């Protein structure tokens, strides 16, 4: 299963399979299984705020906003270095617009981080998705900048570590074998004992499988609920 899944993901990526989906009318560049898994996590955490770096065409912001709407509370904050006018207008005119905030700017600049942090109210539960520029350097900077906002028991996810398995497929780049979000997440976990790197626990499982098809290997960093400094 693992071998077949890896090759299916590699071939599907090279054929741009992930470009074939929309959510509520907007393109969403994610593997459906990853969306199902993060839905399960959101149901468990019930976040008040979901922060996402990288907006693209807005489908993922609408996905998270629809989870908040279904759960009956919460909002999403999307950050992108450039928000295209068509995307901005589509999100502002959407029925879920009341659950969406957008910030245009480089996600790792101090003023961007400060602006996002100022929108979080005391006591709110925060979950974070990192899905902007996928170089190790940039993801590492995002992890350092946004991890302090993650609530105990919640998580920050460094998406698209699958790049490490795509270095030799059509459209891939050889540098991806060592320059990818998973490398940044693994390094971050080794230096931050307040976080644990592990996939989400499946809410139900009657099979013998212990891993799933994903674009997000070594991505899930969970903030521990105990104070390790005490």
Question: Which letter, b or e, does each residue of 196-214 get, where b requires 16 or more Cβ atoms within 10 Å of its Cβ?
Answer: ebebbeeeeeeeeeeebbb
Q: What pLDDT score does 230 carry?
A: 39
If the chain, 230 residues long, is cut into consecutive pieces of 10 residues, what is the mean pLDDT of each piece?
Answer: 93 96 97 96 97 97 98 98 97 98 98 98 98 98 98 98 97 97 98 96 82 94 75
Which spans in the chain are helix H?
2-14, 32-45, 59-71, 85-92, 110-118, 136-146, 181-191
Residue 108 φ then ψ, to 5°:
-100, 0
* Centroid of chain to Cα 208: 27
Q: What is the pLDDT of residue 227?
A: 59
- What pLDDT score was predicted for residue 118? 98
CB 146 within 8 A of CB 138: no
pLDDT for the residue numbered 22: 97
Question: Hey, is 228 helix, strand or coil?
Answer: coil
Tokens, residue 11? 């071939």
The predicted model scores a pTM of 0.95
Domain 2-223 has CATH 3.60.110.10: no
The domains of the chain are located at: 2-223
Nearest to 131 by CA among 41, 54, 190, 228: 54
Cα 124 to the center of its chain, rounded Å? 19
């Amino acid at each position: 299963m693992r071998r077949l899944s890896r090759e299916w993901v590699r071939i599907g990526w090279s054929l741009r399979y992930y470009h074939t989906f929309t959510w509520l009318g907007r393109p969403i560049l994610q593997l459906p299984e990853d969306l199902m898994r993060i839905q399960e996590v959101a149901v468990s955490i019930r976040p008040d705020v979901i922060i996402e770096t990288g907006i693209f065409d807005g489908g993922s912001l609408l996905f998270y906003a629809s989870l908040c709407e279904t759960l009956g509370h919460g909002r999403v904050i999307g950050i992108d270095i450039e928000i295209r006018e068509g995307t901005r207008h589509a999100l502002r005119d959407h029925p879920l617009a009341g659950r969406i905030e957008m910030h245009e700017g480089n996600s790792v600049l101090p003023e961007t981080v400060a602006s996002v942090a100022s929108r979080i109210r005391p006591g709110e539960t925060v979950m974070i998705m990192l899905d902007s520029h996928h170089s190790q350097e940039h993801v590492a900077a995002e992890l350092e900048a946004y991890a302090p906002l993650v609530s105990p028991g919640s998580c920050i996810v460094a998406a698209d570590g699958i790049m490490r398995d795509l270095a030799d497929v059509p459209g891939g780049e050889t540098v991806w074998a060592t320059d990818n979000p998973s490398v940044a997440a693994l390094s971050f976990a080794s230096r931050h004992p307040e976080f644990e790197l592990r996939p989400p626990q499946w809410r139900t499982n009657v099979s013998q499988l212990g891993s799933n098809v994903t674009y997000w290997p070594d991505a899930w960093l969970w903030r521990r609920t105990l104070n390790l400094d005490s």
